[in-house]
């Protein structure tokens, strides 16, 4: 699979998101009402809108991005290397601007890769850029494009093999491929608490970077290649 994909033209990405406010009652009355309406099907009768607010980071209309981690491959002396850096902080505009600038410095043939990226990461990035008045980079603009013209790789979609009912987590794929799991310290459900309660953004960045590394290793398996050894992976602070 993917033998035609040039790894040196691939950015592997992952984002971490949280609700825009720590508490439901910090939103305006209008947004509270819209949140209640937006989530009524997901909540059913099990939760009130306020009780369900911990999950607001999933929706771009009510959440914000606090970290974008990016990994890229490079080859040296016939060995594969992988380098990971992050845009992270409390200023979402600064994060998105930095990421958009990075993509703008690349060619339009640069491929973006993420796990469940087509359902979450890529549209979330576009929506938050639009909301914040940031020009969406060409690599993320897919309106009017044919499917084969979209420069996105989604490792979860690849694993589906056309089965639209199948959801497979990054953790599960890592386990079955004998790749170290990125969920050894925390998982996505903990990000809001770690951000707002513990105020430990570096821990979230580490978690996000682990997801990028794991996604990259899975991509290599799809290409029939060996995993990159740990000593060939660089984390840029």
Is residue 229 within 8 Å of 220, Cβ to Cβ? no
Higher pLDDT, residue 199 or 141: 199
pLDDT at site 145: 73
Q: How far apart are CA 217 and CA 227, in angstroms?
A: 5
Give domain limits for the chain. Answer: 7-20+62-235
3-state secondary structure of 13: strand
When the candidates are 3.30.420.10, 3.90.1150.10, 3.40.50.800, 3.40.950.10, the CATH number that belongs to 7-20+62-235 is: 3.30.420.10
- Spatial separation of the C-alpha atoms in residues 223 and 81, rounded to whole Å: 16
Share of the chain above pLDDT 70, in %: 98
Instruction: Tell me the three-class secondary structure of 147-214, residue by residue.
Output: HHHCCEEEHHHHHHCCCCCCCCCHHHHHHHCCCCCCCCCCCHHHHHHHHHCCCCHHHHHHHHHHHHHH
DSSP percent split of the chain into helix, strand, coil, nearest 5: 45, 20, 35
Lookup: tokens for 97: 């601007």
Is the pLDDT assigned to residue 1 strictly greater than 70?
no
> pLDDT for 33-72, tens place per residue?
999 999 998 888 788 999 999 999 999 999 999 999 999 9
Q: Which two tokens stand for residue 120?
A: 């979450």
pTM, to two decimals: 0.94
pLDDT of amino acid 143:
75
Contact 20, 131 (CB under 8 A): no
The values of phi and psi at residue 132, to 5°, are: -90, 5
The tokens 């600064």 sit on which residue? Answer: 94
Q: How many angstroms separate the CA atoms of 122 and 136, rounded? A: 11
pLDDT tens readout for residues 184-219: 778 888 999 999 999 999 999 999 999 999 999 999
CB atoms within 10 A of CB 206: 17
Mean pLDDT of 90-97: 98
CB atoms within 10 A of CB 116: 18
């Amino acid at each position: 699979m993917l033998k035609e994909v040039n790894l040196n033209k691939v950015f592997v990405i992952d984002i971490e998101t949280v609700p825009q406010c720590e508490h439901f009652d910090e939103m305006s009355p209008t947004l509270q009402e819209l949140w209640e309406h937006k989530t009524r099907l997901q909540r059913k009768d099990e939760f009130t809108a306020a009780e369900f607010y911990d999950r607001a980071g999933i929706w771009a209309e009510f959440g914000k991005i606090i970290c974008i981690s990016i990994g890229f491959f490079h080859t040296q002396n016939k060995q594969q290397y992988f380098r990971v850096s992050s845009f992270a902080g409390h200023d979402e505009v600064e994060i998105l601007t930095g990421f958009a600038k990075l993509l703008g410095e690349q060619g339009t043939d640069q491929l973006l890769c993420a796990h469940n990226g087509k359902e979450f990461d890529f549209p979330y990035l576009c929506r938050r850029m639009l909301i914040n008045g940031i020009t969406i980079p060409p690599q993320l603009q897919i309106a009017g494009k044919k499917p084969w013209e979209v420069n996105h790789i989604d490792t979860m979609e690849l694993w589906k093999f056309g089965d639209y009912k199948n959801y497979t987590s990054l953790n599960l794929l890592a386990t079955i491929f004998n790749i170290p799991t990125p969920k050894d310290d925390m998982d996505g459900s903990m990000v809001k608490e770690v951000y707002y309660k513990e105020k430990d953004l570096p821990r979230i960045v580490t978690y996000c970077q682990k997801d990028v590394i794991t996604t990259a290793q899975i991509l290599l398996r799809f290409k029939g290649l060996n995993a990159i050894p740990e000593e060939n992976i660089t984390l840029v602070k």
